[in-house]
Structure 1
Amino acid sequence: MSSFQGFPPEAFTFYAGLEKDNSKAYWEANKAVWENKAHKPMQEFLEALEEEFPPLRLFRPNRDVRFSKDKSPYKLWIGATSESRGVGGVGFYVRLDSSGLKTACGAYVMARDQLERFRAAIDHDLYGTQFEEMTHRLAALSLPVTPGGEAPLKMVPPGYAKDHPRADFLRWKGAVIVKDFDGIQEWLHTSEVVEKVKAVWHGAEPLKEWLDIHMGPSQESSERFSPRSRKVASASQS
């Protein structure tokens, strides 16, 4: 059983400070705070979630700046995902930053072969209608399904009628539920946060099930996230 008792206030203040001074000097001066107040509680939090959900892996704290104009060395958040693929994964996600906690479930970005299957299912009279009706039900539960990490196409993709009854969904490149718990609320400092996130993930199960059945995993995507196992102990590891 996990020993998670909530995220300490210092976890949020650490990232507030990092936003102001994203430097190696700040990180080294506050490494113990990150290790004990952010990294360790997040590990315990993930262990608590794994009692009902697939294992999640922490993202490494260092940013990949090789192809970025922004050379800030560290991510302004700590988070984890159940998927190893940056494109083509369907799973769960959680992250903490200075403003609070965010969690998600679904396909953030679909691979090409997934898009083909997703659009074929949306075009199908039964499966497409099921998806549309599901989005209405989830929206009523304050769990709206969104297009994911990439902007939808401006036009309906080739091969589908411009006046298709589900044209908006055909333009999507992802399908994900994102729940943003705005603000540093008191329950974030208690074990209640586990039940809050579990409730979102359980509520999102209809979306995940539909995607698993009608879209499935990508057979062609080799693009990967760079999350590390929870063996990561400090930002100095590479």
Structure 2
Amino acid sequence: MVQPSTLKFLKSLRSNNNKAWFDDHKEAYQAAKTDFESVVQQIIDGLAKQDPSLGGLQVKDAVFRIYKDVRFSKDKTPYKVHMAAAFQPGGKKAMSAGYYVHLEPGGNSMAGGGIWMPPAAELKKVRQEIDYNFDEFEKIISNKEFIRRFGKIEGEALKSAPQGYSADNPAIAYLKLKSLVVSHSFSDDLCTQPSLVKEILKTYATMQPFIKFLNRSFE
């Protein structure tokens, strides 16, 4: 579970996204960071049992910094108004499909996963895996529990079929995608309940065949 004070800090940060306020509330930030990292460690411990490839993952390799890189952004506010972590072999910067958790007050928290905007060479491999094994892929994403928890796969799509594929390919809706991700949202109330980590791990368990299929592209 996340402490209510952590959500309170993030909510206040949204209204006071500037260095002066942040510096004045450094202790509250450190407490929120420690709290979130404790949850991340619990997730890692549970995930390692579900997916042995994540057994050696460290908290520092999973958690994203709260400081934004504003060099190429129109929004120059210096801090993210959420806390997040990614769980994948090799850490959050590795080029593979993985699991993700996002903590943001206002009903914006969620557990998700997949592969986000991979480089062209990696995306080509994912498309090939889907094309060659579409029956298996379709079975995974049409599973009743998968649909109940995630709905459909999300991601920005090309306007036309990618090079090498015809518009009437049975898998074309997925072959057009530049990212393949799914997510399941959590209420602020659930985030502060002892059952939070259990619910996140349940979400990841439902997602695991999808993640494994995507990562097979890189074997």
- TM bucket normalised to smaller: 0.7 to 0.9
Out of 31, 37, 48, the residue aligned to residue 42 of structure 2 is 48
- 1:139 is displaced (CA, Å) by 4.1
Q: Which residue of 2 aligns with 1:120?
A: 128
The answer on 1:178 being equivalent to 2:183 is yes
The answer on 1:132 being equivalent to 2:138 is yes
The answer on 1:105 being equivalent to 2:105 is no
Which letter maps to 2:188? I
**Cα distance in 2 for residues equivalent to 1:139 and 1:64:** 34
**Cα distance in 1 for residues equivalent to 2:130 and 2:102:** 30
- 1:33 is displaced (CA, Å) by 1.5
**Cα distance in 2 for residues equivalent to 1:167 and 1:175:** 13
Q: Which residue of 1 aligns with 2:11?
A: 16
Which letter maps to 2:97? V
Q: Which residue of 1 aligns with 2:50?
A: none
**Cα distance in 1 for residues equivalent to 2:128 and 2:165:** 10
Out of 199, 209, 212, the residue aligned to residue 215 of structure 2 is 212
Of structures 1 and 2, the one with the larger relative CO (CA 8 A, separation 6+) is 1
Alignment RMSD (CA, Å): 2.0
- Paired-residue identity, %: 24
The answer on 1:29 being equivalent to 2:27 is no
Is contact 2:97–2:115 with CA below 8 Å preserved after alignment?
yes
**Cα distance in 1 for residues equivalent to 2:95 and 2:45:** 25
Which letter maps to 2:9? F
Q: Which residue of 2 aligns with 1:227?
A: none
Is contact 1:91–1:106 with CA below 8 Å preserved after alignment?
yes
Residue deviations 1:81-138, cap 9 Å, x none? 12446583311111211224211121122222222122222222xx111112211115
Q: Which residue of 2 aligns with 1:70?
A: 75
The count of aligned residue pairs is 204
Q: Which residue of 1 aligns with 2:193?
A: 190
**Cα distance in 2 for residues equivalent to 1:193 and 1:136:** 26
Which letter maps to 1:171? K
Residue deviations 1:53-108, cap 9 Å, x none? 23352111111112222211111111111244658331111121122421112112
Out of 132, 153, 160, the residue aligned to residue 158 of structure 2 is 153
**Cα distance in 1 for residues equivalent to 2:131 and 2:210:** 17
TM-score (norm 1): 0.78
Q: Which residue of 2 aligns with 1:81?
A: 86
SS at match of 1:142: helix
**Cα distance in 1 for residues equivalent to 2:79 and 2:147:** 37
Is contact 1:89–1:109 with CA below 8 Å preserved after alignment?
no
